[in-house]
Chain A
Amino acid sequence: MKRYGQHMIIWFVLAFLYLPILILAFYSFTGSTMIGSVRGFSMQNYVTLFTVPELRAMMFGTLSLAVAVAVLSVLLGTTGAIGAFYSRKGIRRTIEVFNEVPVVNADVVTGFSICIFMIVLLHMDKDTYIPLVIAQTALCTPFVYLSVMPRLKMMDNSLYEAALDLGCDPMLALKKVVLPQIRPGIVSGFMTAVTLSLDDYFIATYTKPATFDTISTYVVNATRGAQTSIKTALWALSAVMFVIVIAVVAGANIKAGKDEENIRV
């Protein structure tokens, strides 16, 4: 393959991935209601996004839900991974197989099955938010488990043994010796859980309270017919989200680069 062709492929795919988001971000700063017609600079979309109560409630709700789900997932997934790591092979294998189910399963099926179990069979009330939080946690925890487990395998086990030999309590050794070594796995598991929850449409639709909306369910309803001002305010939301994701990814990359340098020194 010629070098020229390689650049072409790279740039073509990059353009495909980024142009729509960038063009929409550009138009979010104008007064136009559709792409292609420029009407001059305007911050109206951003004012709408952060002042209309419905939109504010939707964003705040989605974010609170994501944080709650991620915290729960990290607690369950980390303890689950540590426990499974030290368990007998059979038990660990069973946990690993169950853990794989939400990862490979279609989100529609995960959401629908939890809805059938909790709401249809057990008659739980959707308005308590409990089915929603439980269902999203069931989706996110396996990914936390999967990002913590490799760290446990990489860990130097003799450090933990040494701590015990020096008279350290097992639980304290876990906290002081094991946790610091698996922290990068926990952090990336937390981030994955947050993004999965922010991205989720299907599990939310099947388990959420009728009056509650996440970004995904809100956007989908808006495409079925919403005021133009709301539609274009969502362009602003996508620009905001794009900037936040870039900032977080860049920050994480710089941090990872620094950590690597520290290790080398």
Chain B
Amino acid sequence: MKKSFLDRKQLAIPYFIYLVLFVVMPLLVVLYYGFTDGEGHLSCYNFTAFFTNGKTMGTLVYSLIIAVLVTVICLILAYPVAYILAKGQYARKHSFLMVFVLPMWINFTLRITALKEILTLLEGNLAYHPFMNTVICMVYDFLPFMIMPLFNALTKLDRSMIEAGHDLGATFWQVLIKVILPLSVPGIISGVTMVFLPAMTNYVVLDMVYNSTYIMGSLIGSYFNSYDWNNGSIISAILLMLIGFFTIFTDKVISNKEAAA
């Protein structure tokens, strides 16, 4: 048989090259800039400076507080919604889910503008509550991203497990905590992944509600504006490490769960 000039496998070549050039290379370049000084000498100065400087550490702590708060509030709001929808007491549950995730397709700056006008009406002046407004706007922005994975995890859930729990005499809350929550851990993890990191880095939300405190993303933005590539890179590198740890941790949790099941 005549061998075709183009094999199916070779179709992956353009994308593979693209990934290496524009995904892997930029990250390596960021690591290089982060761990060298202005003259190109290898140095951990920027890295250690980040963790010894009170200001940058304060920024890290402030972004962590915001991210934890936003993630927890999103979870508390999204979980019951996802659970009720997944249980399927409403007809056409997938169309109903669409209603909840639809806002995610409207440009986020326009959505924040809308919420901002409402908050201005309620509070008089946004500048009085910068922290609270930031958290509200971020929850508003990220909530659909939490509902979607939770819904997917909860629809796949084996109903007979819940029925077995009830048959064995467990109350609603016992079933929720002992059966439903553990079974939906993969959904919770992917929801948290979708919300936590953006909440640490999306500094546009803070800009829009006139919160002048920095989060990790604002640091990159301000170093970018002052052409400080080395310091901007080290912040990116630190965020990358955080993502790396998080991914390894969640992979472990998920594979442990699979092993247990």
Q: Which A residues form the contact surface with B (CB < 8 A)?
A: 1, 3, 6, 9-10, 13-14, 16-21, 23-24, 27, 34-36, 76-77, 79-80, 82-84, 86-87, 91, 94-95, 98-99, 101-102, 104-110, 112-118, 120-121, 134-135, 137-138, 141, 145, 169-171, 174, 195, 198-199, 201-202, 205-206, 215-216, 219-220, 223-224, 234-235, 237-238, 241-242, 245-246, 248-249, 253
Contact = CB atoms under 8 A, between A and B. Distances in A.
A17 B29 contact: no
Given A84-B12, A104-B243, A170 B4 contact: yes
Contacts of B197: 104, 106
A220 B117 contact: no
B108 A199 contact: yes
Contact of A80 (B14, B95, B120, B203): B14
Instruction: Please tell me the size bucket of the interface on B.
Output: 35 or more
B33 interface: yes
Which residue of A98, A113, A242 has the most chain B CB atoms within 10 A of its CB atom? A113
Nearest to B119: A20
A198 B77 CA distance: 27
Closest 4 CB pairs of A and B: A83-B12, A80-B15, A83-B11, A113-B26
B247 interface: yes
Given A105-B240, A117-B30, A137-B18, 10 more contacts: A34-B121, A95-B19, A98-B16, A98-B24, A107-B198, A108-B202, A110-B26, A201-B109, A206-B224, A215-B109
B208 A223 contact: yes
Nearest to B197: A106
B103 to A, nearest CB: 5
A184 B60 CA distance: 42
Interface string B109-148: 1110111111011000000000000000000100110000
Nearest to A234: B113
What's the dominant secondary structure at chain B's contact region? helix
A17 B118 contact: no
Nearest to A242: B106
Given A34-B120, A105-B243, A106-B239, A253 B95 contact: yes
A220 B207 contact: yes
A17 B100 contact: yes
A95 B22 contact: no
A195 B81 contact: no
Given A112-B236, A113-B29, A249-B105, A80 B224 contact: no
Contacts of B14: 76, 79-80
A200 B71 CA distance: 21
A83 B236 contact: no
A123 B50 CA distance: 28
A10 to B, nearest CB: 6
B224 A249 contact: no
23 contacts: A17-B100, A20-B115, A20-B140, A21-B114, A23-B118, A24-B118, A34-B121, A36-B121, A80-B11, A83-B12, A83-B15, A106-B201, A106-B239, A114-B26, A116-B30, A116-B232, A134-B22, A170-B4, A219-B113, A220-B207, A234-B113, A238-B106, A241-B106
B6 A216 contact: no
Given A108-B201, A108-B220, A219-B107, A76 B30 contact: no
A80 B27 contact: no
B142 to A, nearest CB: 11
A120 B229 contact: yes
A223 B207 contact: yes
Nearest to A201: B204
Given A14-B99, A20-B118, A223-B207, A108 B217 contact: yes
B4 A35 contact: no
Which residue of B20, B27, B85 has the most chain A CB atoms within 10 A of its CB atom? B27
A137 B14 CA distance: 13
A234 B110 CA distance: 8
A80 B19 CA distance: 10
B18 A76 contact: yes
B193 interface: yes
B27 A241 contact: no
A114 B243 CA distance: 18
A238 B18 contact: no
Contacts of A19: 118
B10 interface: yes
